[in-house]
Amino acid sequence: MATESLVPATERKEATERRRTQAFFPQLSIEEELNPWLAQEARFDFAAKKLNLDDGIWKLLRHPTRELIVHIPVMMDDGHLEVFTGYRVQHSISRGPSKGGVRYAPDVSLDEVRALASWMTWKCAVVNIPFGGAKGGIICDPHKMSQGELERMTRRYTAELMEFIGPEKDVPAPDMGTNEQTMAWMMDTYSMHMRQTVTSVVTGKPVELGGSRGRLEATGRGISIVCDHALKHLGMAVSGCRVIVQGFGNVGSNAAKLLFEKGYSIIGIIDLDGGLANPRGIDIHALLRHRAEAGTIVGFGFAGAEQVDPAELFARECEILIPAATENVITSRNAADLKCRILCEGANGPTTIVADQILAEKQVFILPDILANAGGVTASYFEWVQDRMGYFWNEAEVNRRLDLIMSEAFDAVISYAKAHNVNNRIAAYMLAVDRVAYTTKQRGMYA
């Protein structure tokens, strides 16, 4: 029988949380916990220490190579001039041109773009493709802007980046708030300045403009591939494997669809406008049809699916939880409540470093973001390759190559974790930092 504690439960919980926080970072406030750059730095430092990384290389890889801030004038539809602030951060070009998306959102910050740029370096290294990492963003609310305003802003932003981007320099792609159309405008603006069509300057373009077949689904497909491997690795079966997905956008909806088609039971979907649950499994094809008509997952009642509280659903028992919405959704405040066996990170940075510690204690098997959602950048790499060849693969070929790369990356992370006796997150960082440090040393220092 458990011994009763004299300390009230709330105080015990607070003390445990304090201890956990201090184990990683002394006096980490909630603001610091939620700062993605500090999270990236802490994980990088941890991996670098474990690798006994040379001091100079450590200092070099800790900072982005280049950070650009631009102020973008845009003539708005009502005739007034607005000025938006944009960023492009290039973290590393050691393994090849830097690669990373462009985010349009009201809360974009330099720290966030920095963190995302570094994650791209590590992600490209985990899947072993010849790219470094970069990221861009503009502080704006794309949902409140017209197509004309978005086009003018995108074109001027691209013009400001002319010297910094290019097929051999830095290759942007879509991220939150941007899409195929944004990439078509970026490609066209760059091409106008260069006086020739340069399709390989961006990826994530429409297929008719040099985009790759399979790119749209690729991140979700990559997630489904690593989930298959995780089940095999843990001796679990697909049949009866319950999955909850947060975020029903590009990544979440494609992951849910592909897992559903493979026989996984998707018992919960959470989006901004609500949570949907069915213990017997949600028919994802029917949900996609409903969302296409209604524009929301709300109101879907097919085969016993019910509207539920999103926070409660997030913490329900399941075999796989897939956060595929945004950053910092698993924190010191809710990590202890999660009841999943596997956490597969579709989003970038969904778990804070404090939450990491809590999940490690709970022995949750983590498929970290820099592995789990790397299917997108891998397909972007295929797009860049096809653009440069001027020869395009069919979808089966893209999917076959994606499967190969994701499977190799999964095996590499698991082997690293075993060899170094660390968890999957640290193993993925160690593998990535090791690979980037190696090429940095090989190239030698121009210092």
Q: Which is nearer to ligand NAD, 245 or 433 (CB)?
A: 245
Spatial distance between the Cα atoms of 348 and 325, rounded to a whole number of angstroms: 9
Residues that bind ligand NAD (CB under 6 A): 175-176, 219, 246-252, 270-272, 324-326, 346-348, 373, 376
Q: In this structure, what token pair is assigned to residue 328?
A: 């910092």
Which residue is associated with the tokens 């997630």?
A: 223
Cβ atoms 347, 270 nearer than 8 A: no
Q: Which is nearer to ligand NAD, 188 or 345 (CB)?
A: 345
Cβ atoms 424, 409 nearer than 8 A: no
Q: Which is nearer to ligand NAD, 186 or 437 (CB)?
A: 186
Return all residues near 221 (Cβ < 8 A) that are at least 6 apart: 214, 254, 258, 375, 399, 402
Q: How far is CA 129 from CA 116, 133, 136, 446, in A?
A: 17, 11, 20, 24
Which residue is associated with the tokens 């030698």?
A: 444
Return all residues near 207 (Cβ < 8 A) that are at least 6 apart: 213
| Nearest distance in Å: CB 50, ligand NAD | 25
| Nearest distance in Å: CB 59, ligand NAD | 28
Cβ atoms 121, 194 nearer than 8 A: no
Q: Which is nearer to ligand NAD, 44 or 248 (CB)?
A: 248
Return all residues near 50 (Cβ < 8 A) that are at least 6 apart: 420, 422, 426, 430
| Nearest distance in Å: CB 200, ligand NAD | 18
| Nearest distance in Å: CB 249, ligand NAD | 2
| Nearest distance in Å: CB 66, ligand NAD | 21
| Nearest distance in Å: CB 62, ligand NAD | 22
Q: Which is nearer to ligand NAD, 74 or 344 (CB)?
A: 344
Q: Is 262 a catalytic residue?
A: no
* CA–centroid distance for 380 within its chain: 14
| Nearest distance in Å: CB 181, ligand NAD | 14
Q: Which is nearer to ligand NAD, 347 or 437 (CB)?
A: 347
Half-sphere exposure of 81 (CA within 13 A, CB side): 4
| Nearest distance in Å: CB 18, ligand NAD | 26
Q: Which is nearer to ligand NAD, 57 or 368 (CB)?
A: 368
Selecting among 135, 205, 257, 441, the annotated active-site residue is: 135
Q: Which is nearer to ligand NAD, 54 or 309 (CB)?
A: 309
Which residues is 224 bridged to in the sheet? none
Select the residue whose beta carbon is closest to ligand NAD and give its number: 249
Half-sphere exposure of 164 (CA within 13 A, CB side): 22
Reference 70, options 157, 9, 191, 148; nearest CA is 157
Enumerate the active-site residues. Answer: 135
